[in-house]
Amino acid sequence: MESGVLVGFEYEQEVKLRCISCGLEYEPNPRLTRCPRCGGLLDVEVKPSTELSWSLWSSRKPGVWRYRELLPAAKGSTPVSMGEGATPLVRLGRLAERIGAERVYVKHEGQNPTGSFKDRGMTVAVTLAKAAGARAVVVASTGNTAASVSAYAARAGLKSIVVVPQGKTALGKLGQSILYGADVVEIQGSFDDALSAVMKAVEEDYRLYPLNSFNPWRLEGQKTLAYEIAESLGDAPDWVIVPVGNAGNISAIWKGFRELYQHGLISRLPRMAGVQAEGAAPLARAWERGLNRPLFVDRPETIATAIRIGHPVNWPKALTAVRESRGVFVKVSDDEIMWAQIALARLEGIGVEPASAASIAGLRKLLSKEVISPDEIVVAVLTGHSLKDPEAMLRAPTRRILARNPEDAVSKVLGLVEIELGKDPTPSTRQLEEVCTNT
Ligand SMILES: *Cc1c(COP(=O)(O)O)cnc(C)c1O
Ligand SMILES: [Zn+2]
């Protein structure tokens, strides 16, 4: 692998780079995204030169760069930023009551600039790619990474190329990449096929900078999700629930909490729960059997396209995160995901795409299995916005009534007033089964 031409790349803080498989240490060159010796995952460590405190950070504008002492920022560079992070932590009311939990918060990552948490990683990694003189950025994606890369590359003045599975990318995400001006390669294959294509292309031409989540620089930005949760709550919660696809986010969030703990900024660590969809559950199925490696899935299938991944690249980091935190992996069905998506919308007014609803479906399951108890403080990460996947929204069962003319519309509206209020607004199992078998 060509590691580029950079020597002595300078950061604002001391930065270390190490392979988690073979243990070799490297110069912290942002061009290094996998171990040149063994191909293993790399881990970045940022050692702040000043003492950290919440008051230092809270005096700054909220968002990813508020925590810059723990981020790998190139010396003298201006962040490629548009206000990512600083997403609301919302306490659930009616839905929490419905599933039997007292203190559930959701971190609404759909409120990031391109509508998913991916923006946290992209502001850091694209800033580095630009400083390191990359010509083009490239990414394999189920959709959200592509949307985020396209936007941040546009802002940085870099070319972007995205590789997405043909016919399996949610419409909103594909539309974003096109609008932001990425070149779009639609592959007749899965996300995993797209990712291996990107890895090969990057080895052929070092001017291409890869932004998938094996890129450890990107995960540094995603750590800030943990910082914000801890800052909002004043400490770590009991549980953090995260939908798992490539398993980068759960790894990054765990890393963030560990760092806060090491720097004495929180008094305890949360337990991490990773949620996968039944048809794409290499980690959850391995976890049930007590295995040390994933049971890879060659043809992953789920309505939650953002986690429709059978070979999660970050599995070693994610397994460590869940083990170290005394957490769990759990799988949920498409029906359960859909119920959670609709329940969040209709009981709380919060719109998310199906993959994000997996964290609520997982919470509901873990409560019923008594893994999580009703009085524990839970944060569920809602990874992406409902507008990402208009087709999924349109599948939610509701009354849609045709009115032939204005008078007819008046009578239809008046007829609807009669329908009782307070009836359960979430769909029945039968309704969900109908929807899921028709899609
Ligand atoms: C990327 C993504 C995920 C999965 O995150 P990983 O880091 O790949 O595990 C989940 N939900 C949404 C909406 C995403 O965009
Ligand atoms: Zn190695």
If pLDDT is split at 50, 70 and 90, which confidence band does 116 have? very high
**Are 363 and 420 in a shared domain?**
no
In angstroms, the CA 439 to CA 435 distance is 7
How far lies 145's CA from each of 114, 161, 328, 370, in Å?
10, 11, 26, 34
Contacts of 83 (CB under 8 A, 6+ apart): 63, 113
Q: Which atom of ligand 1 is found nearest the CA of 213? A: 7
Question: For residue 37, which ligand has an atom nearest its CA?
Answer: 2
Question: For residue 302, which ligand has an atom nearest its CA?
Answer: 1
Q: Is residue 195 part of a domain?
A: no
**Are 303 and 420 in a shared domain?**
no
Say how many Å lie between the CA of residue 121 and the centre of ligand 1. Answer: 12
Q: Is residue 93 part of a domain?
A: yes
Q: Is residue 430 part of a domain?
A: yes
Q: Which atom of ligand 1 is found nearest the CA of 388? A: 13
**Are 408 and 329 in a shared domain?**
no
**Are 372 and 278 in a shared domain?**
yes
Say how many Å lie between the CA of residue 93 and the centre of ligand 2. Answer: 47
User: Which of 287, 389, 392, 370 shows the shortest CA–CA distance to 329?
Assistant: 287
Residue 433 has a pLDDT of 80
Measured by CA distance, the residue closest to atom 5 of ligand 1 is 245
For 322-366, what is each residue's pLDDT tens digit? 999 999 999 999 999 999 999 999 999 999 999 999 999 999 999
246 within ligand 1 shell (Cβ under 6 A): yes
176 within ligand 1 shell (Cβ under 6 A): no
For 68-84, what is each residue's pLDDT tens digit? 999 999 999 899 999 99
Question: For residue 35, which ligand has an atom nearest its CA?
Answer: 2
Q: What is the CATH number of the domain that holds 227?
A: 3.40.50.1100
The structure tokens listed for 275 are 């949620």
The structure tokens listed for 45 are 């460590």
Domain that holds residue 365: 89-115+219-393
87, 307, 313, 385: residue to mutate for ligand 1 pocket, most atoms within 8 A of CB: 307
**Are 387 and 406 in a shared domain?**
no
* Tokens 């509901």 belong to residue: 364
**Are 237 and 312 in a shared domain?**
yes
144 within ligand 1 shell (Cβ under 6 A): yes
Length of the chain: 439
248 within ligand 1 shell (Cβ under 6 A): yes
Tell me: pLDDT of 2 over 50. Answer: no
**Are 326 and 388 in a shared domain?**
yes
**Are 346 and 362 in a shared domain?**
yes
**Are 233 and 323 in a shared domain?**
yes
For 42-59, what is each residue's pLDDT tens digit? 999 999 999 999 999 999
**Are 311 and 420 in a shared domain?**
no
Q: Is residue 229 part of a domain?
A: yes
Question: For residue 308, which ligand has an atom nearest its CA?
Answer: 1
In angstroms, the CA 378 to CA 124 distance is 28
Say how many Å lie between the CA of residue 198 and the centre of ligand 2. Answer: 20
Q: Is residue 262 part of a domain?
A: yes
**Are 331 and 414 in a shared domain?**
no
Contacts of 144 (CB under 8 A, 6+ apart): 114, 115, 116, 118, 173, 306, 383, 384, 388
Say how many Å lie between the CA of residue 141 and the centre of ligand 1. Answer: 10
The count of C-alpha atoms lying within 13 angstroms of the C-alpha of 432, restricted to the half-sphere facing its C-beta, is 16
How many domains, the chain?
2
pTM, 2 dp: 0.96
116 within ligand 1 shell (Cβ under 6 A): yes
Sequence-distant contacts of 180-184: CB under 8 A, at least 24 apart: 180/147, 180/150, 180/151, 180/153, 180/154, 181/150, 181/154, 182/146, 182/149, 182/150, 182/153, 183/159, 184/146
Residue 185 has a pLDDT of 97
Q: Is residue 366 part of a domain?
A: yes
Say how many Å lie between the CA of residue 43 and the centre of ligand 2. Answer: 10
Residue 3 has a pLDDT of 45
Would you say 328 and 322 are in contact if contact means Cβ atoms under 8 Å apart? yes
307 within ligand 1 shell (Cβ under 6 A): yes
In angstroms, the CA 79 to CA 35 distance is 26
Q: Is residue 65 part of a domain?
A: no
In angstroms, the CA 333 to CA 111 distance is 26
**Are 229 and 370 in a shared domain?**
yes
